[in-house]
């Protein structure tokens, strides 16, 4: 997901806060937000499937999500080609 806009003050504040958290709890890490995003994406992909991870991460296609997160998937349900749909009553 490419973003050509400059970060806002809020985005910069979030980045600083997240970086401080990672520095405190994971010393020696240099790509703090990238690692947090990868961790969160892997959790969503594992627990809810690729389509949920695609939406969560803002990827344009599920193939992008699959390329980057397939190694993290733990069960067959997560790699299903059919998006999970909640029935409406």
Task: Report the C-alpha gap between 22 and 25 in whole angstroms.
Answer: 5
Residue 87 in any domain: the answer is no
Determine the structural domain holding residue 22 and report its residue range.
9-79
Task: Report the C-alpha gap between 89 and 74 in whole angstroms.
Answer: 31
Percentage with pLDDT > 90 across the chain = 11
pLDDT recorded at residue 49:
84
Task: Report the C-alpha gap between 48 and 78 in whole angstroms.
Answer: 6
Residue 33 in any domain: the answer is yes
Residue 3 in any domain: the answer is no
pLDDT recorded at residue 78:
44
Q: Which pair of structure tokens corresponds to residue 11?
A: 């985005």
Instruction: Indicate the range of 16-20, 26-30, 74-78 predicted with least confidence.
Output: 74-78
- 45-83 per-position pLDDT tens digit: 888 888 999 999 999 999 998 888 877 775 444 444 445
Residue 72 in any domain: the answer is yes
Query: How many Cβ atoms sit within 10 Å of the Cβ of residue 25?
Result: 8
Residue 25 in any domain: the answer is yes
Q: How many domains does the chain have?
A: 1
């Amino acid at each position: 997901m490419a973003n050509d806009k400059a970060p806002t003050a809020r985005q910069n504040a979030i980045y600083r806060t997240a970086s401080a958290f990672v520095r405190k709890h994971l010393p020696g890490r240099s790509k703090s937000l990238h690692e947090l995003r990868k961790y969160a994406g892997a959790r969503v992909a594992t627990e809810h499937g690729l389509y949920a991870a695609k939406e969560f991460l803002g990827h344009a296609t599920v193939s992008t999500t699959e390329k980057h997160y397939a190694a993290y998937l733990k069960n067959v349900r997560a790699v299903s080609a059919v998006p999970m749909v909640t029935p409406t009553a």
